Amino acid sequence: MERNVKLWAMVGLASLPLLLAGCSNKENLYDPVKADSLLKEEYSAKFVAKYGEFSADYSWDATSSTPKYQSSRANGDYTTSQDYYEVETDTKTWLQKKLKNGKDNSSLGTPFLMTVPNNEFTIVPIFQGSANYTWKLHMVVGEGENAKDIEFWSKSKGIQYKETYLSSWKDLANRPSYQGGSNTEDVNSVRSKQYTFDLREQVGQIMYFYLEVWNGNTKVGNMSSLEHQMLALTDCPLPGNIDKKNEMLIIACEDASIKGNSDKDYNEVVLMVYGNPEVPKPVEITNEEVKEVTTKRYMIEDLGSTDDFDFNDVVVDVTRTLTKKMTYENGKLSASETISDEQKAVIRHLGGIVPFQLKIGNTTLEEMQGQMDVNPDTEFAVTGWDPDQNNVSATVKDVNNGSVHAVSFPHKGEAPMIIAVDAEVQWMEERVSITKDWFESIKK
């Protein structure tokens, strides 16, 4: 691979004098096919001259989290910490205020699932209320045949406590019922083992929790976040003993069916989830429907000049919103069906002079005039965009000789005229080239 790139780069550079010579040859200018290939060769050569060689497997797609619901099984699962995490008093105080014991707290949240973040995240049980039932905590990652059900914790497992009058830590599982049993409400301190997951291979996929609930040897049911048996609370202050780079989320669980005679206080077990920089993002489920939104920002070079790489000549955000109908069985997702696919494109910025025509998915937009340094924010309905395929292209017109150039999303190893980034990434100032470190963040 490396060798090919070098060779390709040398050819690119060696052809530069020929190209310059070619420009004075009028015959070449009027051969549109030749003009197109010459211009692109010139562009590639200058790109390599400016940035040096780049890996032949760069994809030029720097977006971080594309939902890929179809991909393979989770493999790494999780690791259990050697040390304990001690729950801060502030967290416990916040929790007890938020989740009033014995009160109906169901309005604090909706049914939800989550999406797998592109970083490790950690789950810690931080509170247990009084409960006769026992339970096993499951996390499901992915859906359909590839769904993986990971059982990673059970009631009181890995939790220790200290009474006000004791100086030593004891296992919660052995706390006598006359002292309060597994309820941590009135103990002085609580500490727990932590469960750290690395599911980056499944980034963007669906994940959710459920409690498998038992009454002695009789199974009561699966109490799932999909069916409003859990709350996702995002407003808890980050504890002082968690690094500030983390985001955190509280998951509060109700162990009796809220369709039955549950008190709906959601404090039988409370989990803290944290991750740097992100936790699994809760996604609200309304009427058993969920919206999966994917946005990519495409930054396009219009070839109006081949010596700047500002990638701001056309900046367009493309968004796909899939509405999926979810079907459950025993608290687990049994099927999801896409019931609508809405797509739009918004032209965020123009910074070039040549006329251009965008094609996004199956939709070819009207030709537009190039404009310098404007943010039109004009929106168009589009269809057929596939975020995994990056099927976005443009035709640009050379106003001097009328030649038309097709600009498409680059194949691996090609000098790019289009780059995909997250919609939060700002475009460059006029004629300020993107820097090389942009490519270094691009995944292979």
Cα–Cα distance between 37 and 2 in angstroms, integer?
24
Closer of 150 and 419 to Ca ion (Cβ): 419
Beta strand residue intervals within 94-188, DSSP E: 112-115, 121-128, 134-141, 148-154, 159-162, 170-171
Nearer to Ca ion, 290 or 421 (CB): 421
The DSSP H or E segment spanning 232 is strand 230-233
DSSP bridge pairs for 273: 123, 249
Chain positions 282 to 321 lying near Ca ion, rule: CB under 5 A, are: 301, 308, 310, 312-313
User: What does the alpha-carbon distance between residue 254 and residue 267 come to, in Å, rounded to a whole number?
Assistant: 6
Q: Contacts with Ca ion: how many residues (CB under 5 A)? A: 10
Segment contacting Ca ion by CB under 5 A, of 92-100, 170-178, 208-216, 247-255: 247-255
351 in contact with Ca ion (CB under 5 A): yes
Restricted to residues 80-109, the positions that interact with Ca ion (CB under 5 A) are none
Q: Which stretch binds Ca ion (CB under 5 A): 194-202, 339-347, 348-356, 418-426?
A: 348-356
Instruction: Work out whether 143 is an interface residue with Ca ion (CB under 5 A).
Output: no
Q: How far is the CB of 66 from Ca ion (least distance, A)?
A: 26
Piece in contact with Ca ion (CB under 5 A), picked from 29-37, 47-55, 66-74, 254-262: 254-262
| Residue 301 beta carbon to Ca ion: minimum distance, rounded to whole angstroms | 5
Q: Tell me the residue nearest to Ca ion as measured from the CB.
A: 351
361 phi-psi bin (left φ>0, alpha ψ -120 to 50, beta other): left
Chain-centroid distance, C-alpha 131:
36
Distance between CA 423 and CA 387 in Å, rounded?
13
Stretch that binds Ca ion, among 169-177, 238-246, 253-261, 315-323 (CB under 5 A): 253-261
Residues 277 and 259 sit within 8 Å (Cβ to Cβ): no
Joined together, the tokens standing for residue 333 give 């997702």
- Rounded least distance, CB 222 to Ca ion, Å: 16
Q: Could you give the CA distance from residue 13 to residue 303 in angstroms, rounded to a whole number?
A: 18
Distance in Å, CB of 308 to Ca ion, minimum? 5
The helix-helix angle for 2-23 and 32-51 (nearest 10°) equals 130
Only one of the segments 352-360, 384-392, 410-418, 419-427 lies at the binding site for Ca ion (rule: CB under 5 A); that segment is: 352-360
Quote the least distance from Cβ 46 to Ca ion, whole Å.
Answer: 11
Q: Among residues 265, 271, 396, 419, which is the contact residue for Ca ion, using CB under 5 A?
A: 265
Between 212 and 313, CB nearer to Ca ion: 313
Name 78's bridge partners: 197
Kindly state the smallest distance separating residue 332's Cβ from Ca ion, in Å: 21
Among residues 91 and 267, whose Cβ is nearest to Ca ion? Answer: 267
H-helix segments, 24-170: 26-29, 32-51, 89-98
- 173 in helix, strand or coil? helix
- Of residues 77, 263, 278, 288, which one binds Ca ion by CB under 5 A? 263
Q: How far is the CB of 115 from Ca ion (least distance, A)?
A: 27
- Could you say whether residue 111 binds Ca ion (CB under 5 A)? no
- Least separation in angstroms between CB 422 and Ca ion: 20
Q: Which CA distances in Å does 431 have to 245, 351, 434?
A: 34, 9, 9
Q: Let me know if 106 is exposed, middle or buried by CB neighbors in 10 A (0-12, 13-18, 19+).
A: middle
Place of tokens 């109006």: 304
3-state secondary structure of 247: strand
Distance between CA atoms of residues 273 and 119, nearest Å: 13
In the complex, the smallest distance separating the C-beta of residue 255 from Ca ion, rounded to whole angstroms, is: 6
Type of residue found at 304: G
Q: Which is nearer to Ca ion, 129 or 387 (CB)?
A: 129
Residue 121 contacts residue 274 (beta carbons within 8 Å): yes
Rounded to an integer, what distance in angstroms lies between the CA atom of residue 316 and that of residue 423? Answer: 9
Nearer to Ca ion, 247 or 313 (CB): 313
CB of 35 to Ca ion, least distance (A): 18
The least CB distance from residue 335 to Ca ion, in Å, is 30
Stretch that binds Ca ion, among 149-157, 236-244, 344-352, 417-425 (CB under 5 A): 344-352
Cβ atoms within 10 Å, residue 420: 23
Query: Which one of the spans 221-229, 246-254, 281-289, 391-399 is the region binding Ca ion (CB under 5 A)?
Result: 246-254
Residue 287 C-beta: closest distance to Ca ion, Å: 25
Residue closer to Ca ion by CB (options 208, 311) is 311
Q: Between 204 and 243, how does the x/- string for binding to Ca ion read (CB under 5 A)?
A: ----------------------------------------
| Contacting positions for Ca ion (CB under 5 A) | 254, 263, 265, 301, 308, 310, 312-313, 351-352
